[in-house]
Amino acid sequence: MEVKEISERIKRLQEEKDAIILAHYYTRPEVQDVAGYLGDSLGLSRMAARASARVIVFCGVHFMAETASIISPDKKVLIPARDAGCSLSESVTGADLAAWKAAHPGGIVVCYVNTSADVKSNADYCCTSSNATRVVESLPAGRPVLFVPDKNLGAYINKVTGRDMELWHGDCCVHERLPAPVLLERLDEYPGAIALVHPEANGSHDDRVLHHPRVVIASTAGMIDHARRSTCRQYIVATELETIHELAKSCPGKTFIPALRSTICGQMKKITIERVLDALEKEQFEVKVADEIREKARVPIQRMLDVK
């Protein structure tokens, strides 16, 4: 079948099966275009919590579908590619975090949403790149904070908040390719452009980037919101390449230049339109979280959702 025919079939099935497709901005354009809701990790988590559909088809990597299942255990959560993983999520296990906590008694654990359910079950708070700064600022000033697993996002939060969190040494294999020299080179190359930089980027916490007058550091949803509101006509995009699809759709007449063309998440690309159709037709690859882990993991996730 052609993409158009598959897309039409998917749209019909969503109604027939009382299903909603949630897709991340990093998925393929044709997958984004069939989604009932398109968003970043925070937006997708909130939609999973309030969606009334019986079935959620989660077009993203495995930890995202797990989070949806934790939030909405009464719904059937499906993932089109069950082998879609995440280098950042896989950099830490629940046992790793438990040992780290034991070595830092009294510490508050803030866990990035890009982690497994087992890791979340050992955390005090979850956060996304959209609300990480607000979550950390809400914590008692005198308490030590352990931030897991993204060293780049953690370093950025430390700079912005003035905290001195202990950082786990994990990173996103896509955003790690965006150090300060690359970002500064692009800013020199395009003197009329604003650089939209994800806080997971390797260079986000470098003072030359952080304080640059033409840099906006934001989550993926924050980037899109800024580009919609700004009068600037040209942007350098320092995050996963597929984000440009939604940026271009949302901001006609504006130009979006990838900071690097190699910022592609191969795991997200495992979610194809054909696999979305298969998941929906067969209701296959359900993601479930054991009750004991789910109940523990839900607490830090709910704290994340409660932060405005």
Residues 116-143: tens digit of each pLDDT: 999 999 999 999 999 999 999 999 988 9
93 and 53 both lie in a single domain? no
The mean per-residue pLDDT over the stretch 135-161 comes to 96
Which pLDDT band, with edges at 50, 70 and 90, does 178 fall under?
very high
DSSP bridge partners of 39: 24
CATH code for the domain in which residue 16 is found = 3.40.50.10800
185 and 168 both lie in a single domain? no
Scored b (16 or more CB within 10 A) or e, 16-48 reads ebebbbbbbbbbbebbbbbbbebbbbbbbbbbb
Tell me the pLDDT tens digit for each residue of 239-295.
Answer: 999 999 999 999 999 999 999 999 999 999 999 999 999 999 999 999 999 999 999
Check residue 142 and give its pLDDT. Answer: 86
DSSP bridge partners of 58: 22
Q: What percent of the chain has pLDDT over 70?
A: 100
143 and 113 both lie in a single domain? yes
106 and 65 both lie in a single domain? no
Pairwise CA distance, residues 117 & 275, whole Å: 24
130 and 105 both lie in a single domain? yes
Check residue 10 and give its pLDDT. Answer: 97
Side-by-side strand order, sheet with 19-24? 37-39, 19-24, 55-59, 76-78
Q: Give the CA angle between residues 220, 225, 229 to the nearest 5°.
A: 150
Check residue 41 and give its pLDDT. Answer: 87
94 vs 142, more confident: 94
Check residue 81 and give its pLDDT. Answer: 97
169 and 179 both lie in a single domain? no
Look at residue 144 and tell me if it is in a domain: yes
Look at residue 24 and tell me if it is in a domain: yes
Check residue 307 and give its pLDDT. Answer: 81
Look at residue 240 and tell me if it is in a domain: yes
7 and 153 both lie in a single domain? no
pTM of the model: 0.95
- Contact (CB, 8 A) for 41 and 247: no
Which pLDDT band, with edges at 50, 70 and 90, does 1 fall under?
confident
54 and 74 both lie in a single domain? yes
Check residue 308 and give its pLDDT. Answer: 65
What average pLDDT is seen over the chain? 96
Side-by-side strand order, sheet with 194-197? 215-217, 194-197, 234-238, 255-258
Range of the domain at 224: 175-258
Look at residue 281 and tell me if it is in a domain: yes
196 and 234 both lie in a single domain? yes
95 and 79 both lie in a single domain? no
Q: How many CA atoms lie within 13 A of 57 on its CB side?
A: 30
Look at residue 60 and tell me if it is in a domain: yes
Which pLDDT band, with edges at 50, 70 and 90, does 94 fall under?
very high
Look at residue 263 and tell me if it is in a domain: no
Tell me the pLDDT tens digit for each residue of 285-305.
Answer: 999 999 999 999 999 999 988
162 and 93 both lie in a single domain? yes
154 and 302 both lie in a single domain? yes
Number of domains in the chain: 3
